[in-house]
A and B are shown apart, each in its own frame.
Chain A
Amino acid sequence: MSINRREFLKIVGASAILALGGVAIADGIDKDNLEVSQFLPEPGALVAGKWAMVVDVRKFKTEDDYKRVINACNSIHNIPDFGEPKDEIKWIWTDTFEHAFPDEYEQKYMPASLERMPFVLMCNHCDNPPCVRVCPTKATFKRADGIVMQDEHRCIGCRFCMAACPYGSRSFNWRDPRPFIKKENPDYPTRTKGVVEKCTFCVERLAEGLMPACVEASNGAMIFGDLTDPNSEVRKALSSNYTIRRKAELGTGPNIYYIIGGTDNA
């Protein structure tokens, strides 16, 4: 059977229309319900240009002040207690002035009370985070609001970030943490063996419009806010007090500021 030119063109045209229609239908099926535009931020979420924290060291007076802050974090984030310093998981912890601020420690004539008192330490959510630079899977990354976030789904446990972090802010799960969590918080996941974890500035609480757990428990000793907003609490605290940061000379751009008092503290 032979066809003439006219019929051939008709068939070609009709099949082209059918094929395009098929593609359109297939597109419709493929897209399903997963469009990027369908994901929105939480309505009441706290947002900022750059989150930062000011720790008013003067307001930490008793041992209980430290414990309250640290326990608030530990209980909410299902942080295990292995009872073994080598395996310790820490998001927020304390250390001496010498260890926290080794460069400021050079001079020997500082108040003895300051030298002995513990300092509240946590992830500094650096402007230029070395942990993010070395992470081979981008499991740790910097959010637009300055938070250095840890995606446990992607962490392969190589611990490059732990070597890179000059603050010791990162902990590795050498063991399954589940049996060592005193009381599980069912609203927050645990971690598993073989991943690195650290303070996340309570992203899950910021998304609900809440302040970080430690800030809430600190009775005003820790101030949290937006560094890019001149009227924020942190900016007010920074403009009215002299503050220091941990190992700022390394160029990491830490975002935790410490108000150091005189002999009147401790």
Chain B
Amino acid sequence: MYNGGKILFGILIFLALVTFPFYNDIGKANVRPEPKINTPEIQKLSEKQCVESQAFMKANHMTLLNEWRDSAVRGGNRTYVASDGKKYTISLQNTCLRCHSNKKEFCDTCHSYAGVNPYCWDCHIAPKGAKK
């Protein structure tokens, strides 16, 4: 083999670089995102309950928001009847964000952890006043 030493050395460097993300993370705890719900509006609620159950919202809030969007914009129906029978006005800015006024600590923690980049905020105005 010509230049065997150099080739082997090169392969070693290549392997070291390629596997860097793996050995770099060994032993480090995978910190889970903790979306915070301690906004003043939520503190005021006697029963801390979103429009649907927490498990449902965690898994399906994007589907719910899409349905809300289509219902309000295209269907013209702006009232949502939750599974517990309570009625909510369909509005991202005026219903969701009234309680969840802490976009940074609530929306962004999970979204940046999961590497998703929803474009809601290109148009919808994130609350600025109540930064907690």
Chain A residues with CB under 8 Å of chain B are: 32-34, 38-43, 45, 78, 141, 143-145, 149, 151-153, 184, 186-192, 203, 207
When the two chains form their complex, are residues A149 and B125 in contact, meaning their CB atoms are under 8 A apart? no
Interface stretch, picked from B11-19, B39-47, B60-68, B109-117, is B60-68
Chain B residues with CB under 8 Å of chain A are: 52, 56, 60, 63-64, 67, 69, 71, 73-83, 87, 89-90, 93-94, 119, 122-125, 127-128
When the two chains form their complex, are residues B125 and A186 in contact, meaning their CB atoms are under 8 A apart? yes
- C-alpha gap A192/B90 in the complex (Å): 21
A143-B76 contact in complex given A33-B82, A153-B69, A192-B122, C-beta closer than 8 Å: yes
A149-B73 contact in complex given A40-B81, A41-B78, C-beta closer than 8 Å: yes
- Chain A residues with Cβ below 8 Å from B93 are 186-189
Which of A78, A203, A207 gathers the greatest number of chain B CB atoms within 10 Å?
A207
Interchain Cβ contacts under 8 Å between A and B, 9 examples: A33-B83, A39-B79, A39-B81, A42-B78, A42-B89, A78-B125, A149-B73, A186-B128, A190-B123
When the two chains form their complex, are residues B73 and A153 in contact, meaning their CB atoms are under 8 A apart? yes
- Chain A residues with Cβ below 8 Å from B75 are 39
A207-B78 contact in complex given A190-B123, A192-B123, C-beta closer than 8 Å: yes
- C-alpha gap A153/B69 in the complex (Å): 9
Q: How far is the CB of B55 from chain A (nearest CB, A)?
A: 11
5 further A-B contacts with Cβ under 8 Å, apart from A38-B81, A45-B78, A151-B73, are A33-B56, A38-B82, A40-B80, A41-B77, A189-B123
8 Å CB contact of B125 from A39, A41, A151, A190: A190
Q: How far is the CB of B85 from chain A (nearest CB, A)?
A: 10
Query: SS class of chain A's interface: helix, strand, loop or mixed?
Result: loop
A141-B60 contact in complex given A152-B123, A190-B125, C-beta closer than 8 Å: no
Nearest chain-A residue to B52 (Cβ)?
A33
- Chain A residues with Cβ below 8 Å from B52 are 33
- Chain A residues with Cβ below 8 Å from B87 are 40
- Chain B residues with Cβ below 8 Å from A152 are 123
- Chain A residues with Cβ below 8 Å from B67 are 34, 39
- Chain B residues with Cβ below 8 Å from A143 are 76
- C-alpha gap A187/B94 in the complex (Å): 6
When the two chains form their complex, are residues A39 and B77 in contact, meaning their CB atoms are under 8 A apart? yes
- Chain B residues with Cβ below 8 Å from A207 are 76, 78
- Chain B residues with Cβ below 8 Å from A34 are 60, 63-64, 67
- Chain A residues with Cβ below 8 Å from B56 are 32-33
8 Å CB contact of A40 from B69, B77, B122: B77
- Chain A residues with Cβ below 8 Å from B78 are 41-42, 45, 207
8 Å CB contact of A141 from B74, B79, B81: B74
Nearest chain-A residue to B127 (Cβ)?
A186
- Chain A residues with Cβ below 8 Å from B74 are 141, 149, 151
- Chain B residues with Cβ below 8 Å from A149 are 73-74
